Amino acid sequence: MDKFMIEGGRKLCGKTEIQSAKNAVLPLLAASVLTDEQVTIRDVPAISDVENMLHILSELGCKISRTADSVIIDSVNAVSHEIPARLTKELRSSVFMLGSVLTRFRRARISYPGGCDIGLRPIDLHLSGLKRLGVEIVEENGYISCSADRLTGADILLDFPSVGATEKIILAAVKAEGTTVIRNAAKEPEIVDLQNFLNRMGGRVRGAGGGTVCIEGVKTLSGVEYTPIKDRIEAGTFLIAVASCGGELEMEGVPEENIAALLHKLRENGCKIHRKDDKIFLESSGRLRSAELIETMPFPGFPTDLQAQFSALACTSRGTTLVVENLFETRYKYAAELRRMGADITVRGRNALIRGVERLHGAAVTAGDLRGGAALVIAALGAEGQSSVADLSHIDRGYSEFERKLKKLGARIRRVRI
Which of 103, 304, 316, 387 touches ligand UD1 (CB under 6 A)? 304
* 176 part of the interface to ligand UD1, by CB under 6 A: no
Give 75-81's long-range contacts (Cβ < 8 A, gap of 24+): 75/32, 75/33, 75/35, 75/36, 75/39, 75/104, 76/36, 76/37, 78/33, 78/104, 81/105, 81/107, 81/108, 81/109
Radius of gyration of the chain (CA): 21
Which of 69, 117, 124, 344 touches ligand UD1 (CB under 6 A)? 124
Cα 171 to chain centroid, rounded? 18
Can you give the three-state secondary structure of 19-84, one letter per residue? CECHHHHHHHHHHHHHCCCCEEECCCCCCHHHHHHHHHHHHCCCEEEECCCCEEEECCCCCCCEEC
Distances (CA, A) of 43 to 39, 364, 408: 13, 34, 20
* 164 part of the interface to ligand UD1, by CB under 6 A: yes
* 373 part of the interface to ligand UD1, by CB under 6 A: no
Return the number of the residue (121 or 132) whose C-beta is nearest ligand UD1: 121
Return d(Cα 363, Cα 8) in angstroms, integer.
11
* 14 part of the interface to ligand UD1, by CB under 6 A: no
Which of 16, 19, 20, 23 touches ligand UD1 (CB under 6 A)? 23
Examine the residue annotation and report whether 315 is marked as an active-site residue of this protein. no
Give the single-character DSSP code of 258.
G
Contacting range for ligand UD1; rule: CB under 6 A; set: 77-85, 161-169, 269-277, 406-414: 161-169
Binding to ligand UD1 in span 185-204, by CB under 6 A: 186
Smallest distance, ligand UD1 to C-beta of residue 29, A: 11
Smallest distance, ligand UD1 to C-beta of residue 196, A: 16
Per-residue contact flags (x/-) with ligand UD1 for residues 60 to 99, judged by CB under 6 A: --------------------------------xx------
Q: Which residue numbers are catalytic? A: 116
- State the residues that interact with ligand UD1 by CB under 6 A: 23, 26, 92-93, 119-126, 160, 162-165, 186, 304-305, 327-328
